[in-house]
Chain A
């Protein structure tokens, strides 16, 4: 299985801050990586696919980069609605695997 190591596991930040979350894959996965945002009691919402492709209706303050084994999700200027848990997902090889999550707190 491909292990996805996500860091940090938790992050405290303030409104307006720039934050970066990292996912490292245990082997190369090309750009077969997506980022999800999950709020309490809700299903995950896809923010970014193919490592850097922003989904429609997702604010442009979100961006993704990387390929191979190292990927980042950046939020350029935190807004109140961004406080949530974020997950990466690799869908390059079966079984698909998620990172362990990053809880973004005020």
Chain B
């Protein structure tokens, strides 16, 4: 049974870099077959896709983040990470990692099927 779990600091100071890690258990990231994704939810608000990465290194980001986001994979730890720089209070949110199944033969990427439980990050001095 595949599980995802987010970890990282719950409090980040303005202008600093938010760093989160998602640990995948029950499957190997390098086996392929899905994109590793980050999604966030501002308090009491809707969902915003941040971006995702394939184990081969292909990455896609939401332009709304103005190139502040970077997603990477650590295959040795079976983890993937999010770094968001120059944070402000507007980046305060629950951050979720999730996987999006990807079918190489057709190039089709399905919607997120498995999510982590989410981690709250507050940006404040």
Contact = CB atoms under 8 A, between A and B. Distances in A.
**Do A and B associate with each other?**
yes
Contact of A91 (B63, B96, B109, B116): B109
A47 to B, nearest CB: 10
A82 B60 CA distance: 33
Nearest to A33: B111
A98 B111 contact: no
Interface string A13-41: 00000000000000000001110000000
Contact of B64 (A46, A91, A95): A95
Interface string B35-78: 00000000000111100000000001111100000000000000
Contacts of A32: 111
Nearest to A90: B111
Contact of A43 (B48, B96, B100): B96
B100 A91 contact: yes
Q: Which 7 A-B pairs have the closest CB atoms?
A: A34-B111, A43-B115, A96-B49, A95-B62, A98-B47, A100-B46, A91-B111
Interface of A: 1, 32-34, 42-46, 49-50, 55, 87, 89, 91, 94-101
Given A43-B98, A50-B110, A95-B49, 7 more contacts: A34-B111, A44-B96, A45-B115, A87-B47, A89-B47, A95-B60, A95-B63
